[in-house]
Amino acid sequence: MNMTTKIIIWMIAGLLLGSLINIFAYDVALIQNYLVHGLFHVVGTIFINLLKMLVVPLVTFSLICGVCGIGDVKKLGRVGIKAFGLFLLTTTLAISLALLVSVTINPGKDFNLTQSAQTEFVAPEPPPITQVFIDLVPSNPVTAFAEGNMLQIIFFTILFAICLLMVGERGRTLIDGAEKLNDVMLQVVNVVMSIAPYGVFALMAKNFALQGIDLILPMIGYFGIVILVLICHVTGTLMLLLKFLGRISPNQFLKKMRTAQVFAFSTSSSNATIPVTLRTVERRMGVDNSTASFVVPFGATINMDGTAIMQGVATVFIANIYGIELGLTGYLTVIGMSVLASIGTAGVPGVGLIMLAMVFNQVGLPVEGIALIMGVDRLLDMLRTAANVTGDAVVTMIVARSEDNVSMEVFNDPDAGILESVELPHVKQ
């Protein structure tokens, strides 16, 4: 049994056990204290921390290898522009699709506001756009690495790698060292993935024990439309881009993405999934490290397809509940704001709520309406992250194909890069 199958089985087991606990033992203190907030919480948090532990060193060494592997600053700039343009395109298509489907179905038309409206929501302050650009450049690289600020880490690492190339032969030793360290980090990823099924089980069991499946019932219209649009975007929009711009098989791509999608779903974090996404596009799909090491972390930071879809559906839903007519101008404003906000608020904690508050303020919707959808947002966040990670991999494949940086032999091999098990070295006594 390969790792993907194991993870899916344990994920379903966690979902079922968590739901049963929610239904039959929600008020049982022993189970809640020792199982849900005890064992599940400890195992799940350790697993998330293990994934986060990998991100900064893996991105750093992988990016140094990638930039030095390109060897040409002009080519690096070309890869960056292509990736940035494609990420903006996918976000624009995502929000447009969300608005089109939402306006057609019109969720929230007959919603009873009386009890739900009692909850209040305080919108977090979005950072000014000038500060966003200033924050791209770290005043202290050590602080950026310590805090895991991905945009600053990417900026500093690319600058450092370019300067390694500029010093010529004297920088060769450091480049060779980075390549060896990158190999070590990829092996650490393999080791962490070997315990992934149990981490995923604990995360799913805890989430559903606390939230419960019946949580979605009061908001079934909004919840269902967000899921519908996410599925349409991942299996439709992104796969069409992959087929026509990347000239590769969507079916083969989706088969190989399953592990990364399951990780993204269970962790709800694109950044925490970076090690798995990198391993998938490099080992399973054959993308060269020089492209993957740049595009994947970049996408995990600024690609907000899933969040844009949530914004589009939420905007129509809240407008219908409050009886506010947005019109064509309002919808075009939502599209523009969502695309700009996906860049401007990248890497900020609670990014989805900040972006939604910015959009609501811009089109004149009551920000307190966000409180109505917060109940189901935890479950939707898991699905949004899976969509974001899929978008990261799609753009990486398209850019790699355009630069001839992908091995089609590896991509077409269904068994390439499959992680069966991790063998630990035998230590003599």
Q: Per-residue pLDDT tens for 402-426?
A: 988 889 999 998 888 776 554 545 5
Confidence (pLDDT) at 374: 65
Q: What span, in angstroms and rounded, lies between the C-alpha atoms of 299 and 388?
A: 8
Tokens read off for 353: 């709520």
In a domain, 323, yes or no: yes
Q: Tell me the sheet residues that pair with 287.
A: 406
Note whether 222 and 108 are within 8 A (CB).
yes
418 phi and psi, to 5 degrees? -65, 135
Angle between helical axes of 238-245 and 370-402 (0-180°, round to 10): 10
What is the model's pLDDT at position 12? 85
Which residue from 233, 242, 283 is spatially nearest to 386, judged by alpha carbons? Answer: 233
* Domain-embedded: residue 425: no
Tell me the C-alpha distance between 378 and 211, whole Å. Answer: 9
For residue 420, being part of any structural domain is answered with no
Q: Give the up-direction half-sphere exposure of residue 295: CA atoms within 13 A in the CB hemisphere.
A: 35
Whether 86 maps to a domain, the answer reads yes
Residue 417 lies in a domain: no
Q: What tokens appear for 299 in the block?
A: 């996408």
Nearest CA to 63 out of 168, 164, 132 is that of: 164
The per-residue pLDDT for 425 is 52
Q: What would the pLDDT profile of 290-310 be if each residue is shown by its tens digit?
A: 888 888 888 887 788 888 898
d(CA 318, CA 369): 6
Residue 120 lies in a domain: yes
pLDDT at 117: 43
Q: For residue 156, is it within any domain?
A: yes
336 domain residue, yes or no = yes
What is the spatial distance between Cα 120 and Cα 142, in angstroms, rounded to a whole number?
39
- pTM here is 0.75
> Which residues does the chain have with pLDDT short of 70?
1, 4, 70-72, 110-129, 132, 211, 213-219, 341-354, 371-372, 374-376, 378, 419-429
Q: Look up the CATH number of the domain holding residue 388.
A: 1.10.3860.10
Secondary structure (3-state) at 50: helix
> What is the span of the domain harbouring residue 120?
3-412
Per the structure, how many domains does the chain have? 1
The pLDDT of residue 111 is: 60
